[in-house]
Amino acid sequence: MEGEGGLSGSRRPSTVTAAYWVWIVAAVLLVLFGLLALTASGEAIRNNLSQSGVGVDKIGALINLLRGNGLICLLVGIAVGLLAGPVRGGDGRIRRALAALSVVFALLEVAAVVTELSPGVLLVVPILLLVAVVLAYRDSASTWFGR
């Protein structure tokens, strides 16, 4: 039943449910951005970079960075999506692991956007991840994880 805890029968706090859905949205976006980066045409990227004035000797490395960032986004998105369920169920250890993954990835993605290795639109994902962490660690959620 929605909102009910399995073993203890206590109601799941709405902040935990909200954190779960925010993590799911972030996971979906990460998977989509990752797949876009991994499947983008290399020739189109090469043409775009050369028109932007990037040196021919650096284009190959930038394409590899884009693909690597896409792979990391894909893997982190899958991990966030898989870990969000147990957190919603009240597993405190998984909550800590998912919070750590979210914060570390958010910091790395912000750094990638600042250094122009990632597009600015990807700032949506770190914001969502940090919002989910804050929601999962609100006082109202602590009783859910402390049972």
| pLDDT tier at 4, thresholds 50, 70, 90 | very low
Q: State pLDDT tens for residues 33-88.
A: 999 989 988 888 788 777 877 777 788 888 888 889 899 999 999 999 999 999 99
pLDDT at 108: 93
pLDDT at 5: 46
Element (H, E) at 57: helix 56-89
Q: State pLDDT tens for residues 76-102.
A: 999 999 999 999 999 989 999 999 999
pLDDT at 126: 96
Q: Specify the pTM.
A: 0.85
Structure tokens at 125: 């994902």
Buried b (16+ CB within 10 A) or exposed e, 90-107: beeebbeebbebbeebbe
